[in-house]
């Protein structure tokens, strides 16, 4: 039985339970997704677009799915002691794939802002959620359709017209169970015209004795003259696999920043599909990956410029050690009518061992001459001269290597706009290079200290 077949069979045999515990907004799309999956299969390694990661192998193990919505308790107060300096966030949790609000989530929430369970929001605000849900996610992709078919909960974030969020929103995704589990996670973010928001997502695994798989689909709408920053930090375990697909659409004069950081994990695949559909839109897409052991990290990007005066900048950096592998596949697409586009893409990689491997394929697809576009990739090892110089000044080799690798990541960290998070990431990266399992989890929520008037 293929990986996809086992989940289709699971859905068909539990159809009444799944739909009975959900809303019509989600159910109508899940039925369509089930039809689209007929006769399909998840991509194997070597197929076009999936050369470096086999999605089939990621989903093949017999992961449990929480069909009956059993409550799995997690003591978040013990597990998350956030000491990000000078930051205070609006915090919520997703335990496996169930939304769990913090005790102070709704304290002083700006008027009209919604941060809530996707399942509950789709029942209480069916027209609002229904107007956006599954509008960007590409269900012709089997991984997306599978998520749409099985999802029962997630997170809905809505920032109404003209509202500027003063505090970042923080979502903490937690895996914890007593058996292998797949978390089917869905995130819908709507930032309306003239609004502004910052979102920090942290992935953690509390119980590393079991295998986990995160199947995540994110849809982000950025309205006219709106701004959205998304910081996505994966810091899980070697037993955790992650398949995340982000779809974003930008309207006129909007700004979108997405910064994905992989500090630790098992097998990671991140897909980014961003459409600049109206004029004067700006996108910054950055990624930082640190891998060791047999860890695998794969980032794929597709930025589509469909209007004039659009601008995008991509920068992805990898540091690979031991027998780890990395992959980057990036596409900049410029449509015939997208005059005066500026688009830049760069992938830079550092191999810290002879066994580490990196595969990179930056690409341009341009159908207009009035543009400024560039792309490139470099892969190398630590600078031997710099290492020799530092050792000749009395710096131990391990410290010298760590300092050089830290310096290599500086420009990705500097793209973080939140000063407290930027400082915290520098600390996490340093500890990661020293081989310590530092985490946003042990550091993740002076973000969530009681608020002052």
- CA nearest neighbour of 289 among 309, 312, 259: 259
Number of neighbouring beta carbons within 10 Å of residue 154: 26
Contact 347, 405 (CB under 8 A): no
Residue 399: which residues within 8 A CB-CB, separation 6 or more? Answer: none
The pLDDT of residue 387: 80
The pLDDT of residue 442: 46
**Side-chain-side CA neighbours of residue 188 (13 Å):** 25
Three-state DSSP class for 18? helix
The pLDDT of residue 81: 47
Instruction: Give the tokens for residue 439.
Output: 């985490």
The pLDDT of residue 102: 84
User: What is the value of pTM for the model shown?
Assistant: 0.92
CA dist 121 and 129 (Å) reads 7
Helices (H), ranges, 170-305: none
CA dist 447 and 359 (Å) reads 37
Sign of the Cα torsion 192, 197, 198, 200 reads negative
Three-state DSSP class for 152? coil
CA dist 155 and 33 (Å) reads 20
Number of neighbouring beta carbons within 10 Å of residue 12: 11
The pLDDT of residue 46: 78
Sign of the Cα torsion 268, 427, 88, 174 reads positive
Contact 246, 218 (CB under 8 A): yes
Beta bridge partners, 230, equal: 199, 258
One digit per residue, pLDDT tens: the chain, 453 residues?
Answer: 689 999 999 999 999 999 988 999 999 999 999 999 999 999 988 777 677 789 999 999 989 999 988 887 666 654 454 445 567 889 999 999 999 988 888 887 898 999 999 999 999 999 999 999 999 999 999 999 999 999 999 999 999 999 999 999 999 999 998 899 999 999 999 999 999 999 999 999 988 899 999 999 999 999 999 999 999 999 999 999 999 999 999 999 999 999 999 999 999 999 999 999 999 999 999 999 999 999 999 999 999 999 999 999 999 999 999 999 999 999 999 999 999 999 999 999 999 999 999 999 999 999 999 999 999 999 988 878 888 878 888 888 888 888 888 888 999 999 999 888 998 898 889 888 887 444 444 444 433 433 333
CA dist 144 and 150 (Å) reads 10
The pLDDT of residue 191: 98
Q: What is the DSSP string of 56-84?
A: HHHH-S--B--TT-------HHHH-----
CA dist 419 and 447 (Å) reads 12
CA dist 437 and 34 (Å) reads 40
Instruction: Give the tokens for residue 219.
Output: 């849809």
Place of tokens 């292998």: 180
């Amino acid at each position: 039985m293929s990986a996809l077949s086992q989940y289709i069979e699971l859905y068909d045999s539990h159809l009444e339970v799944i739909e009975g515990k959900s809303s019509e907004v989600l159910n109508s799309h899940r039925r369509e997704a089930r039809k689209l999956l007929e006769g399909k299969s998840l991509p194997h390694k070597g197929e076009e677009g999936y050369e470096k990661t086999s999605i089939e192998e990621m989903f093949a193990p017999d992961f449990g799915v929480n069909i009956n919505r059993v409550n799995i308790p997690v003591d978040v107060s013990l597990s998350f002691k956030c000491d990000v300096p000078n930051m205070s966030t609006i915090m919520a949790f997703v335990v496996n794939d169930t939304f769990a609000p913090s005790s102070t989530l709704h304290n002083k929430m700006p008027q009209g802002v919604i941060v809530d369970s996707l399942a509950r929001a789709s029942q209480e605000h069916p027209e609002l959620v229904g107007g956006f849900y599954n509008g960007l996610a590409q269900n012709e992709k089997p991984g997306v359709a599978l998520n749409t078919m099985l999802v029962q909960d997630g997170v809905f974030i809505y920032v109404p017209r003209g509202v500027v969020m003063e505090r970042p929103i923080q979502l903490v995704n937690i895996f914890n169970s007593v058996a292998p589990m797949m978390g089917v996670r869905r995130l819908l973010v709507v930032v309306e015209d003239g609004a502004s928001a910052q979102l920090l997502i942290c992935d953690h695994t509390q119980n590393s004795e079991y295998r986990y798989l995160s199947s995540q689909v994110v849809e982000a709408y950025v309205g006219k003259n709106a701004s959205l920053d998304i910081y996505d930090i994966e810091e899980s375990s070697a037993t955790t696999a992650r398949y995340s697909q982000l779809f974003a659409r930008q309207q006129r004069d909007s700004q979108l920043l997405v910064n994905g950081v992989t500090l630790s994990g098992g097998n990671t695949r991140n897909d980014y599909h961003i459409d600049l559909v109206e004029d004067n839109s700006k996108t910054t897409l950055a990624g930082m990956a640190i891998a060791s052991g047999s860890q695998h990290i794969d980032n794929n990007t597709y930025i589509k410029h469909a209007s004039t005066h659009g601008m995008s900048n991509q920068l992805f950096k990898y540091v690979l050690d031991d027998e780890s592998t990395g992959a980057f596949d990036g596409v900049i697409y410029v449509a015939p009518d997208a005059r005066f586009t500026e688009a830049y893409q760069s992938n830079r990689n550092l191999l810290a061992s002879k066994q580490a491997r990196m595969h990179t394929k930056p690409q341009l697809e341009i159908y207009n001459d009035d543009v400024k576009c560039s792309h490139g990739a470099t892969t190398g090892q630590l600078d031997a001269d710099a290492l020799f110089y530092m050792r000749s000044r009395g710096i131990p080799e391990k410290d010298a290597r760590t300092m050089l690798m830290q310096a290599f990541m500086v420009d990705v960290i500097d793209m973080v706009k939140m000063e407290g998070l930027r400082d915290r990431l520098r600390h996490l990266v340093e500890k990661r290079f020293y081989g310590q399992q530092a985490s946003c989890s042990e550091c993740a929520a002076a973000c969530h200290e009681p608020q002052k008037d």
